[in-house]
Structure 1
Amino acid sequence: MKKYILNSFVAAAILFTAACKPEIETPAGSSAGQANFSKYIAVGNSLTSGFADGGLYLEGQKVAYPNLIAAKMASVGGGAFTSPFFTDAQANGSGYISLTALVNGVPTLTPVLGNGWRNSPTNSRLFKYSGEIQNLGIPGMRVDLSFDPTLTFSAANPYFERLLTDAQVGKTNYFQYIQGRNHTFFSLWLGNNDVLGYALNGAVTVTGDPTTVLTDKVTFSSLYANFLNALTAGGQKGIVATIPDVTAVPYFHTVTVAALLNAAKAINPAAAAIYIQTGTGAVRPATAEDLIRLPFQSEGIFGKPNGSGIPYGLHPLNPIENKWVLDKDEVVKVKDYVNSYNSSIKSLATSKGLAIADTYAYFNQVASTDGVNVQGITLKAAFISGGAFSLDGIHLTPRGNAVIANVFIDAINAKYGSTVPNIDIAQYRGVKFPN
């Protein structure tokens, strides 16, 4: 089984913290206020589904933030909340990565093979789930692809195909799928992937792959409005969430230019700079404003000489390719799209009188130097040790889900006068360390 070992220069930046576990009291006299939680549905993408550690598996599904919210809604009139869980026999789902060793600060990440595939070894189709569900999160879902006119995404995306009947595959898009649920309350957290896919690919768009393209700003606003119109058609109340700054996650802040240069100088003190290829094709020395993708560390290509003996990334004639880097100009572009999407989300939600969970602001706090303190526990955006993000550097740990659930709950209570209890985040783990 292939293992991925983080380079020591990355591990040197990882510091581990202990967390206390305070007692949290459920508020007395709980009330739904102006909301009706009897049938709650959650619309969204991988974050909504419980995707974590690079895969969708049972443990992650169980602690997805909508499940945690629904459990607390039960105390104020909320009904049953169903999720498309893998069975115990399929608990590894699509497969994921785990932290299997930590030696002298150097972590080893080992893939756990998925057992949720019904057509192994091709692993392109997951075991079907049938029955009504209320957690409608689909990993990879975007606002634009929700309205896929070619209807190919429902067949191409194994997480979506898993939930569709054979008659629906290739004939039903996500926008159609989420309708007719007879819900009384909803959450909507979509839009991350409309910019994330572009960023994760180093701002390199791939012909024929719509997940690597930025969604047009006007199109995003129009299609998001369609979602809200559909979800509130019967006068239902709900909550929407803003899009986090996707450049602030550990995926872009673990392998740093400074760490690479220090590693190079340890071997060759004369090393003066790290060279990158930008999105325009230009080659220049990298700066701290240029973000290197997390998977670069496992490729083992840094410093390797090419046919002319020029070390990769350490000379302008053999720079780190653009696909591995979100250069500073691309970072500005990504941030601009996130801000535009969020402006649309807030404006549209306000016009509908809906609650807004500002996850953008929350994640920015997590990414700050001091992180964020919740119930006496500090969460940061550091890879592995920060507590908020799972081993893929993008999705949430169980504790991260618990905190996000509280961000939603606080916004719901503030808007609708409800008293949905908060979640004790100390009951949920961060990254699971090896025994």
Structure 2
Amino acid sequence: MNSKFIFRSILAVAVVATASCKPTLKEITPSKGSADFTRYIAVGNSLTSGYADGGLYLDGQQNSFPLMIATQMQTVGGGSFSTPFFTAAQADGTGHKKLSGFTPTGDPIVTDVPAQAVRGSITLPGFGTVALLTKYTGDLNNYGVPGIRLNQITYAPLGNVNPYFERLLPGNSPTNNTPYLNFVTAKPFTFFSMWLGNNDVLLYATGGADTPSDFPTDKATFTALYNAAANALVTGGAGGTGAKGVVATVPDVLSTPYFTTVTLQALLTAVQAAAPTVQAIFIKTGAGVSRPATTADYFLLPLKAANVIGVPNASGYPYGLDPRNPVESKYVLDKDEAASIVDYTTSYNNTIRSVAAAKGLALFDANALFKSYAAGRVVNGVAVNASYITGNLFSLDGIHLTPMGYAIVANEFIKSINSQYGSSIPTVDVTKYRGVKFP
């Protein structure tokens, strides 16, 4: 037989065989795996509540990551999920920031939208005046309470001094004495997410390490309380028969726009446009020393809005440009304060990882995620990074997330849950959610 004919015949058979063996795309069938999502609750602070743009308001609540997760869980047998929404008439909630435009030089103009959900206030001895928000009385699955620290979850009077928690309780301040941990476990549940611990270091950092009462929670205390919270949650609440869950690490706060937007070089460039001989920005350290800032120090976002650099004091010394009138500690984290924040964050996250492993809980490493966006990533074809305003990840307060940011977080939680429990909860299409809303 002719060798060329044999080769052509073999080739023809190969082509037919290849054509008949085209790979087919198989759809993944949603499955709950070894978990039960019948009643999912979300335990946490402002990030859990949907807080954004410097406030808690309806649009943010409607784009919280727990609500996104719960919606996806419904494809694998998850139940309904109730969020303590503000009403349409109170849509602006506690008030929030909005982007109103840009200056001729391109700087953002951020304005404040007033609150619509304040029912009054109360003055409490030792705490001062506390705002009272409109009460929520419906079913509850999202227990996110802005401002709560892990070291407050067993503190009985918290419901009197934290307006976000007071809003969820049946009583009125100052009669509330239900600890947060008791409140979230008062009813049975089958699955939980817990993202606590952020505020135990965040409040100190965002205040420029200037408020001693906000000093990070003692490491041993943090470990004890995190174990207590996990122990209480895995029981499944009062009347429950046990619950599985997912926990998240404390994010790297120093990688957020609140600490990365106002840089030493940006300040010097702006000053040198009018005063070319200026070579230093002076800061007041946490130790009370006035010295030139270095790239190891962090300027806070509110410094830009304050617009005080170069403004002379009563003695004529320009603010930040003379060692006798340095940038105040509340506007800067010096390198030693920053190092302390990193140290506490690392310790907290070691505890969280240890507890997750011991309890068999899913773990979402939020710290690693936030760091990974510093240089930018592409998500479903959309560029996302940690830049202020334009990065799509962070909202106008420079700390909390945009709806797109919360969708990204929701997906990371879902991936962790699927990995730990063998479930196949579908992820969220992040392109359906916005970044910062432009005017």
Of residues 326, 343, 347 in structure 1, which corresponds to 2:350? Answer: 343
User: Which residue of structure 1 lines up, in the alignment, with residue 92 of structure 2?
Assistant: 92
CA contact under 8 A between 1:65 and 1:405: conserved in structure 2?
yes
Cα separation, 2, equivalents of 1:189 and 1:389: 18
Cα separation, 2, equivalents of 1:314 and 1:403: 41
CA contact under 8 A between 2:160 and 2:172: conserved in structure 1?
no
Which digits, 9 at most, give the CA deviation of each residue in 1:144-172, with x for residues without a partner?
A: 01121xx3321111111100111684311
CA contact under 8 A between 1:27 and 1:419: conserved in structure 2?
no
- Relative to structure 1, the CA distance from residue 219 to residue 123 in structure 2 (aligned partners, 3 Å threshold; closer, same or farther) is closer
TM-score by length of 1: 0.90
CA contact under 8 A between 1:389 and 1:396: conserved in structure 2?
yes
Residues 1:192 and 2:198 are matched in the alignment: yes
User: Which residue of structure 2 lines up, in the alignment, with residue 182 of structure 1?
Assistant: 188
- Where does the alignment leave 5 or more consecutive residues of structure 2 unmatched? 1-24, 123-128, 236-240
Cα separation, 2, equivalents of 1:375 and 1:361: 20
User: Which residue of structure 2 lines up, in the alignment, with residue 144 of structure 1?
Assistant: 151
What displacement does 1:65 show? 0.1
User: Which residue of structure 2 lines up, in the alignment, with residue 135 of structure 1?
Assistant: 142
Q: Which residue identity lines up with residue 308 of structure 1 in the other structure?
A: S
User: Which residue of structure 1 lines up, in the alignment, with residue 254 of structure 2?
Assistant: 247
User: Which residue of structure 1 lines up, in the alignment, with residue 9 of structure 2?
Assistant: none
Which digits, 9 at most, give the CA deviation of each residue in 1:124-163, with x for residues without a partner?
A: 1111000220000000011001121xx3321111111100
Residues 1:153 and 2:158 are matched in the alignment: yes
CA contact under 8 A between 2:100 and 2:109: conserved in structure 1?
yes
TM-score by length of 2: 0.89
What displacement does 1:328 show? 0.8
3-state SS in 2 of match to 1:136: strand
Q: Which residue identity lines up with residue 224 of structure 1 in the other structure?
A: Y
Residues 1:366 and 2:373 are matched in the alignment: yes
Give the length in aligned residue pairs.
402
Query: What's the RMSD between the two structures over aligned residues?
Result: 1.7
Residues 1:320 and 2:322 are matched in the alignment: no
Which digits, 9 at most, give the CA deviation of each residue in 1:254-283, with x for residues without a partner?
A: 111111111111111110100001111111
User: Which residue of structure 2 lines up, in the alignment, with residue 8 of structure 1?
Assistant: none
Residues 1:423 and 2:424 are matched in the alignment: no
User: Which residue of structure 2 lines up, in the alignment, with residue 290 of structure 1?
Assistant: 297
Residues 1:281 and 2:288 are matched in the alignment: yes
What displacement does 1:119 show? 2.1
3-state SS in 1 of match to 2:144: coil
3-state SS in 2 of match to 1:276: strand
Cα separation, 2, equivalents of 1:292 and 1:170: 39
CA contact under 8 A between 2:169 and 2:176: conserved in structure 1?
no
CA contact under 8 A between 1:144 and 1:223: conserved in structure 2?
yes
What displacement does 1:120 show? 7.8
User: Which residue of structure 1 lines up, in the alignment, with residue 269 of structure 2?
Assistant: 262
What displacement does 1:429 show? 0.1
- Where does the alignment leave 5 or more consecutive residues of structure 1 unmatched? 1-24
What displacement does 1:27 show? 4.8
- Farther-moved stretch of structure 1 (258-267 vs 76-85): 258-267
User: Which residue of structure 1 lines up, in the alignment, with residue 115 of structure 2?
Assistant: 114
CA contact under 8 A between 2:130 and 2:161: conserved in structure 1?
no
Q: Percent identity?
A: 50
3-state SS in 2 of match to 1:406: helix
What displacement does 1:31 show? 0.3
Residues 1:433 and 2:428 are matched in the alignment: no
What displacement does 1:306 show? 1.3
User: Which residue of structure 1 lines up, in the alignment, with residue 32 of structure 2?
Assistant: 32
- Relative to structure 1, the CA distance from residue 225 to residue 280 in structure 2 (aligned partners, 3 Å threshold; closer, same or farther) is same
Greater relative CO, 1 or 2 (CA 8 Å, sep 6+): 1
Q: Which residue identity lines up with residue 232 of structure 2 in the other structure?
A: A
What displacement does 1:175 show? 1.3
Cα separation, 2, equivalents of 1:26 and 1:248: 39
Q: Give structure 1 regions of 4+ aligned residues with deviation exceeding 4 angstroms.
A: 120-123
